[in-house]
Structure 1
Amino acid sequence: MTKELWLNLPVKNLKKSKEFFTKIGFSFKNREMENMIAMEVGEKKVAVMLLDESTFKNAAQNEITDTNQSSEILISFDAESREEVDELAQKAEAAGGTVFGKPSEIQGWMYGCGFTDLDGHRWNALYMEMSKMPQG
């Protein structure tokens, strides 16, 4: 059965994408290929593969979504604190991304922000106060 999970994202420029994600705090595996790099996310080190657009298109055997017109995925991850959410929003913007959802309280038990990377993929950073999560 399934041993690992990887997400694959098309990017226009691998070097610039790596710089962006490094600036906001993500790390990369040492193995790099000409057409893809592996980013590690979270304690479980989920792999987010950044593939140049032609490699992605070949693998997916489909057109790439125009992220200026629509979204195919919203990648959400947890933050350790409200302050980390605020910092991520600032870092994403400073690194060339766009904050589309400024840091704010959500449903009384989450605090989050939304930003896009250099290729328009949408990311959602959330700090969740589980003790305040509605029961039911």
Structure 2
Amino acid sequence: MPKLIFINLPVADLARSVAFYEAVGAKKNPMFSDETAACMVFSDTIHAMLLTHEKWATFTDRAIPDAHKTAQVLLCLSEDSREAVDAVVDRAAKAGGQADPSAKQDYGFMYGRSYADPDGHIWEIMWMDPEAAAQGPEGFAAQVGGG
């Protein structure tokens, strides 16, 4: 069985967050969702668990940071093309998110943009040329002028 990742995110308004994540392409898994949490599926191995603040508090006693002011993590998902990257960020903006809270990255062989969800969590969306990816770190360094 492949390893799965479940990213837990505190959200202020569960219904709004579910609608947002559906707009950017995730599907709600009702088997792992209720009135306090929603499992949003990005792929067979990538899931985001959206948790109300009350539900979040059952997992940790640490304070929920205001993700509009601080960043604890930057989450990154890949797409199949530059156009797909732009499409995801555009859908996020239309669904109530913020497009490009971080600077766009364009290295030719690698392209990235980002969005912040309504709670301020930043998701980076990137595309990388498969040939460049096959070259590994040395190939990256050469393409950006470091090798």
Pairwise TM-score range, normalised by the shorter structure: 0.7 to 0.9
Match of 1:92 in 2: 92
Determine if the alignment matches structure 1 residue 12 to structure 2 residue 19. no
The structure where helix makes up a greater share of residues is 2
How much has 1:94 moved relative to structure 2? 0.4
1:84 partner SS: helix
Percent identity, please: 27
Determine if the alignment matches structure 1 residue 33 to structure 2 residue 34. yes
How do 1:1-136 residues align onto structure 2 when only pairs under 5 Å count? 4-31=4-31, 32-42=33-43, 44-99=44-99, 100-101=101-102, 103-105=104-106, 107-133=107-133, 135-136=137-138
* Unaligned segments of structure 2, at least 5 residues: 139-147
Q: Deviations over 1:45-67 (max 9, x none)?
A: 32211000121123122100111
Cα distance 1:62–1:25, how it changes in 2: closer, same or farther (>3 A)? same
Cα distance in 2 for residues equivalent to 1:102 and 1:24: 20
Structure-1-length-normalised TM-score: 0.88
Could you tell me whether the CA contact under 8 Å between 1:10 and 1:52 is conserved in 2? yes
The root-mean-square deviation of aligned C-alpha atoms, in Å, is 1.9
Could you tell me whether the CA contact under 8 Å between 1:114 and 1:125 is conserved in 2? yes
How much has 1:6 moved relative to structure 2? 1.2
Q: Which protein has the larger Cα radius of gyration, Structure 1 or Structure 2?
A: 2
Matched positions, count: 133
Q: Deviations over 1:83-105 (max 9, x none)?
A: 11111111111000001146541
Could you tell me whether the CA contact under 8 Å between 1:86 and 1:103 is conserved in 2? no
Q: Deviations over 1:94-119 (max 9, x none)?
A: 000001146541x3421111110010
* Unaligned segments of structure 1, at least 5 residues: none
